[in-house]
Chains A and B, each alone.
Chain A
Amino acid sequence: MTEENDEGRRHEIETPRWTEEQLKKRRQRNLAIAWTLAGLIALFFVVTIVKLGGNVANRPI
């Protein structure tokens, strides 16, 4: 029981406390990464279509 409390306290000490400002910046960064990844996916999709061209439809079904 005592050990558990100690463990809990240590954990509490080590956890960084985020300020409102830091949380806002982290949110901005997360959004920037999300948009970049979405853009990359879109780019790969569009280039794939461009490279395949008409051959997308030209296959035996």
Chain B
Amino acid sequence: MGNARDFFALLKPRVMSLVIFTALVGIAVAPGGIHPVIAFTALLCIAVGAGASGALNMWYDADIDAKMARTANRPIPAGRVTPSEAAGFGAILSVFSVMTMGVLVNWVAAALLAFTIFFYLVIYTMWLKRRTPQNIVIGGAAGAFPPMIGWAAVTGGVSIESAVLFLIIFMWTPPHFWALALFRNEDYRKVGVPMMPVVAGEKETRRQIMLYSLALVPVTLLPGILGFAGALYTGACAALGAGFLALAFRVWRTEAGPAQDKAAKGLFAYSILYLFLVFSLLLAEKMLGLEGIGARALVPGL
């Protein structure tokens, strides 16, 4: 029988932290004001909704989790929580988070949150994950929604700017997860999850990582081009993006073996820091009031 801590572990707290942070940035950069209590409520609902979908994912994937070293100690495969307890827990939290968001914040944000949970559970976990190497490309949308939900919590709608925030995480997900899949290839092969390296081979995966990285960096510059981020963001993002491309290039050019694992681990670790910094920059500019200041104001004579 599980204790409260086991149920908390079902919420995937580490994934939740990145979700909370990107949602917070969505709330902060959205135009117009929001009362801090309402903003806190929206963040709480997003966090609980994300956690709920994590619990439902662990319920559905308990069979393969038990066979992979990385996930074997999760509460269900370890026998501390029964599958039906996890399913009930996830379902109740899903309903509560969506209804609370609707009643206390607004129904657009609630609908987006409900769609995110549906997308992660049904589209990604149940449908795509075990069927196609494109699983994390399309499934990545679920992880990309939080800043959009945060934006909708403030404005009550969806806009091109919030779609750009979505797109940044969406384009970031494939190189991030394929880097992980390169050095965790054996785990996925063992349980038959068709990750890119399992199905298309490591060489093709390295090439795809490079291609997605080339697409990702320009997307991160869009906030500056669209005018809701300033020169500080754009300049720093270009530098961070150059680092991302350099690491992706190293992965692309290495041959399979220990060198490839090392390069993939490097890109994987950097990718987490990268996403965190890109969103931190947006937040910092907003807090310092620099988001409307373009390169001309910062560099005299430009």
Over the window 20-60 of chain A, the binary record of Cβ atoms lying under 8 Å from chain B Cβ atoms (1 yes, 0 no) is: 00101110110110000000100110110010000000000
Cβ of B41 and Cβ of A32 under 8 Å apart? no
Cβ of A32 and Cβ of B104 under 8 Å apart? no
Asked if B35 is an interface residue, CB under 8 A from chain A, the answer is yes
Can you name the residue of chain A whose Cβ is closest to the Cβ of B2? A25
With A25-B2, A40-B100, A47-B104 given, name 13 new contacts (CB 8 A). Answer: A24-B3, A25-B3, A26-B1, A29-B2, A29-B3, A29-B4, A40-B96, A43-B44, A43-B104, A44-B104, A47-B37, A50-B35, A50-B38
How many A residues are at the interface, by size bracket?
Answer: 10 to 19
How far apart sit A46 and B36, CA to CA, in the bound complex (Å)? 11
Cβ of A43 and Cβ of B41 under 8 Å apart? yes
Can you spell out 19 A-B residue pairs with CB atoms less than 8 angstroms apart?
Answer: A22-B1, A25-B1, A25-B3, A28-B3, A28-B4, A29-B2, A29-B3, A29-B7, A31-B4, A40-B96, A40-B100, A43-B41, A43-B44, A43-B104, A44-B104, A47-B38, A47-B41, A47-B104, A50-B35
How far apart sit A50 and B7, CA to CA, in the bound complex (Å)? 32
Q: How far is the CB of B134 from chain A (nearest CB, A)?
A: 38
Can you name the residue of chain A whose Cβ is closest to the Cβ of B80? A25
Q: What residues of chain B have their CB less than 8 Å away from a CB belonging to chain A?
A: 1-4, 7, 35, 37-38, 41, 44, 96, 100, 104
Instruction: List chain B residues, Cβ under 8 A from A24.
Output: 3
Q: How far is the CB of A17 from chain B (nearest CB, A)?
A: 13
Interface of A is mostly: helix
How far apart sit A43 and B105, CA to CA, in the bound complex (Å)? 12
The number of residue pairs between A and B whose CB atoms lie closer than 8 Å in the complex comes to 30
Interface of B is mostly: helix
How far apart sit A47 and B45, CA to CA, in the bound complex (Å)? 13
Cβ of A32 and Cβ of B38 under 8 Å apart? no
Can you name the residue of chain A whose Cβ is closest to the Cβ of B105? A47
How far apart sit A46 and B40, CA to CA, in the bound complex (Å)? 11
Across the interface, A32 reaches (CB within 8 A) one of B1, B4, B35, B100, namely: B4
Instruction: List chain A residues, Cβ under 8 A from B38.
Output: 47, 50
Can you name the residue of chain A whose Cβ is closest to the Cβ of B6? A25
How far apart sit A40 and B283, CA to CA, in the bound complex (Å)? 28
Instruction: List chain B residues, Cβ under 8 A from A29.
Output: 2-4, 7
Can you name the residue of chain A whose Cβ is closest to the Cβ of B36? A50
Q: How far is the CB of A34 from chain B (nearest CB, A)?
A: 11
How far apart sit A40 and B45, CA to CA, in the bound complex (Å)? 11
Q: How far is the CB of A32 from chain B (nearest CB, A)?
A: 4
Instruction: List chain A residues, Cβ under 8 A from B41.
Output: 43, 47
Can you name the residue of chain B whose Cβ is closest to the Cβ of A46? B37
Instruction: List chain A residues, Cβ under 8 A from B104.
Output: 43-44, 47
Instruction: List chain B residues, Cβ under 8 A from A31.
Output: 4
Q: How far is the CB of B36 from chain A (nearest CB, A)?
A: 9
How far apart sit A36 and B37, CA to CA, in the bound complex (Å)? 17
Can you name the residue of chain B whose Cβ is closest to the Cβ of A27? B3
Can you name the residue of chain B whose Cβ is closest to the Cβ of A35? B4
